[in-house]
């Protein structure tokens, strides 16, 4: 869509330009039908380019047409954050892919080139190209960023020739200062390459210092090594890093990564190789994690490097003195406190369960809101969890012979609110109350201090009350 709008814009400009030209130019140039054959197209010098960020390349567009009057092409990039183009000069900006297109201004003919940009040379900032001492020289072909342009014999110009000049591809430093270097495309457009610093004198590096003589890291682990340049005001502080055995450890900008057990020498040196500092790096074999491991404040359990997930019956083989159930999320993190489990956790029915601070699943009667079972800022209350650890809500038949055993207590009914809190003493149950009871009308029921529903004749606080078999007050 972006490219189409540009085409329409240039097509409109072409019509206006053609109209204006017809009014003033000799009729010979614009008279008659201008027929362009179908095989007359725009062609680029390259179909694809691979480059690094901070570097440049060159595309040449050829308009293969004898009859096409307007042979000027317009350049466009599908993603300027990856690659930019000016007059056919392409600059790699950031890692990724982009498409460079050259089209006639009427938008009828075009050709494209795919560009892949990878991580660039860390020694080229894209701003300061080089420091040159007054009177010194530097060939354009020696600047890594513009090697492709130098080979294409692109014209280069200086913004301020009082500071530096360029002739026949050689930069000559004239006096102290800075000046910008531009590349000039065939259509006359300029592309900023970078800045040249002209300095009075070049201060050489006397030595490189690494404060560590040796280091040990494990396989798969990275470590940053700092190398210092002396003197601190050296002109070129570029450090080239290398590993004697990259199969054992690699190094990028001082970051060493262990690959396999062994020993290698890591070197930091000046670009000319005259100054070198070394460190011996030993890569130790990684030991598979096993047992309980605390990572970022959370507990995980590993068995031979594999992290536990889901439900696990933790026993002596896991180092646990008391067997218990624990639940580990799909991220391997041990769950504690209130946890709602559903189908995504492999549960057939969504439900709440409670795990103590140690991750043990709670079952049976639990006194919540206490220091043993913290439950936020809620007051102390009883809740009941079945043998499966599911929080019970609503009416529950508890006691002997039920699916919810309650010690040796006889079978009885108890009521738990939507939050799972055991109800005691007088409760208003039924439709329209805070304790819904199906579609039953609102009614009074009484639960003893143990939460057992009372039926029949009951003496409560010295008064006699009668409840039917459902526990409803008559």
Q: Which residues contact 76 (CB under 8 A, 6 or more apart)?
A: 3, 6, 85, 100, 101, 103
3-class secondary structure, 8: helix
The answer to whether 73 and 40 are in contact (CB under 8 A) is: no
Predicted pLDDT at 251 = 95
Predicted pLDDT at 14 = 41
Q: At 354, list the tokens.
A: 């409670």
Q: What is the DSSP string of 342-393?
A: -GGGT-SS-EEEEE-TT-PBP-EEEEESSSSS-BTBPPPEEEEE-TT-PBP-
Q: What is the pLDDT of residues 149-164, one digit of tens each?
A: 988 889 999 999 999 9
Q: Distance between CA atoms of 403 and 25, rounded to whole angstroms?
A: 101
Q: What is the pLDDT of residues 239-256, one digit of tens each?
A: 999 999 999 999 999 999
Predicted pLDDT at 114 = 96
Regions in the chain scoring below 70 on pLDDT: 1-40, 67, 121-128
CB atoms within 10 A of CB 341: 20
By CB atoms closer than 10 A (0-12, 13-18, 19+), residue 244 is middle
- Full set of structural domains in the chain with CATH: 2-27+41-118 (2.60.40.1080), 128-199 (2.60.40.1080), 207-284 (2.60.40.1080), 305-467 (2.10.270.10)
Extended beta strands in 24-95, E state: 42-44, 48-52, 56-58, 61-63, 73-77, 83-86, 89-92
By CB atoms closer than 10 A (0-12, 13-18, 19+), residue 304 is exposed
Predicted pLDDT at 352 = 95
Predicted pLDDT at 446 = 97
If we measure between CA atoms, which residue out of 280, 278, 289 comes closest to residue 216?
280
CB atoms within 10 A of CB 434: 9
CA separation (Å) from 11 to 3, 107, 109?
12, 6, 11
Peptide bond into 231 cis (omega under 30): yes
The answer to whether 181 and 166 are in contact (CB under 8 A) is: yes
How is residue 287 annotated by DSSP? P
The answer to whether 438 and 428 are in contact (CB under 8 A) is: no
């Amino acid at each position: 869509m972006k490219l189409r709008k540009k085409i329409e814009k240039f097509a409109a400009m072409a019509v206006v330009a053609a109209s204006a030209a017809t009014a003033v130019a000799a009729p010979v140039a614009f008279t008659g039908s201008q027929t362009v054959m179908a095989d007359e197209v725009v062609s680029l010098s390259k179909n694809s380019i691979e480059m690094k960020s901070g570097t440049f390349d060159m595309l040449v567009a050829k308009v293969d047409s004898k009859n096409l009057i307007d042979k000027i092409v317009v350049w466009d990039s599908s993603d300027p954050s990856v690659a930019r183009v000016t007059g056919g000069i392409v600059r790699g900006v950031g890692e990724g892919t982009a498409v460079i297109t050259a089209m006639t201004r009427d938008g009828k003919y075009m050709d494209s080139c795919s560009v892949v940009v990878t991580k660039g040379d860390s020694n080229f900032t894209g701003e300061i190209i080089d420091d040159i001492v007054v009177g010194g020289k530097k060939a354009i072909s020696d600047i890594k960023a513009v090697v492709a342009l130098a080979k294409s014999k692109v014209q280069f110009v200086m913004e301020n020739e009082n500071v530096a000049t360029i002739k026949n591809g050689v930069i000559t430093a004239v006096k102290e200062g800075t000046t910008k270097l531009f590349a000039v495309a065939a259509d006359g457009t300029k592309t900023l390459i970078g800045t040249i610093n002209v300095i009075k004198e070049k201060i050489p590096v006397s030595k490189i210092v690494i404060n560590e003589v040796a280091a040990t890291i494990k396989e798969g682990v990275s470590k940053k090594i700092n190398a210092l340049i002396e003197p601190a005001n050296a002109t070129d502080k570029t450090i080239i890093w290398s590993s004697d055995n990259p199969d054992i450890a690699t190094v990028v900008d001082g970051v060493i990564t262990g690959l396999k057990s062994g020993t290698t020498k890591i070197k930091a040196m000046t670009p000319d190789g005259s100054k070198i500092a070394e460190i011996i790096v030993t890569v130790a074999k990684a030991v598979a994690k096993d047992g309980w491991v605390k990572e970022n404040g959370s507990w995980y359990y590993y068995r031979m490097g594999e992290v536990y997930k889901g439900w696990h019956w933790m026993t002596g083989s896991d180092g646990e003195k008391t067997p218990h159930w624990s639940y580990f999320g799909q991220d391997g993190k041990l769950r504690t406190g209130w946890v709602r489990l559903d189908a995504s956790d492999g549960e057939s029915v969504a439900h709440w369960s409670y795990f103590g601070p140690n991750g043990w699943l709670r079952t049976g009667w639990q006194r919540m809101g206490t220091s043993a079972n913290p439950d936020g800022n809620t007051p102390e209350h009883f809740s009941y969890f079945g043998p499966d650890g599911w929080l019970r809500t609503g009416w529950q038949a508890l006691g002997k012979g039920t699916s919810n055993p309650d010690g040796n207590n006889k079978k009885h009914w108890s009521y738990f609110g939507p939050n799972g809190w055991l109800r005691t003493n007088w409760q208003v149950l039924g439709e329209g109350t805070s304790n819904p009871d199906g579609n039953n009308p609102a009614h009074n029921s009484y639960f003893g201090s143990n939460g057992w529903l009372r039926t029949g004749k009951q003496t409560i606080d010295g008064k006699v009350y009668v409840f039917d078999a459902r526990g409803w007050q008559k």
